[in-house]
Amino acid sequence: MRIQVVNPNTTETMTATMGACARAVAAVGTTVEAVTSPMGPASIESHYDEALAVPGLLRVVAAGERDGVDGYVVGCFGDPGVDAARELARGPVIGIAEAAMRTAVLLGRTFSVVTTLSRTAGRAWELAARFGLAAQCRQVRACEIPVLDLERPGSNAEHRITEECRRAVAEDDADVVVLGCAGMADLCARISAAVGVPVVDGVAAATKMVESLVALGLTTSTRLEFARPPTKPYTGLLSSFSLETGATI
What number of residues does the chain have? Answer: 249
Contact by Cβ (8 Å): 219, 90 = yes
Task: Report the predicted TM-score, pTM, of the whole model to 2 decimal places.
Answer: 0.95
Per-residue pLDDT of the chain (249 residues; tens, 9 = 90+): 999 999 999 999 999 999 999 999 999 999 999 999 999 999 999 999 999 999 999 999 999 999 999 999 999 999 999 999 999 999 999 999 999 999 999 999 999 999 999 999 999 999 999 999 999 999 999 999 999 999 888 789 999 999 999 999 999 999 999 999 999 999 999 999 999 999 999 999 999 999 999 999 999 999 999 999 999 999 999 999 998 755 577
Q: How confident is the model at residue 29, as a pLDDT?
A: 96
Strands lying side by side in the sheet with 137-142: 137-142, 111-115, 176-179, 199-201
Q: How confident is the model at residue 246, as a pLDDT?
A: 56
> In the chain, what are the domains?
2-95+205-241 (3.40.50.12500), 97-201 (3.40.50.12500)
Contact by Cβ (8 Å): 96, 73 = yes
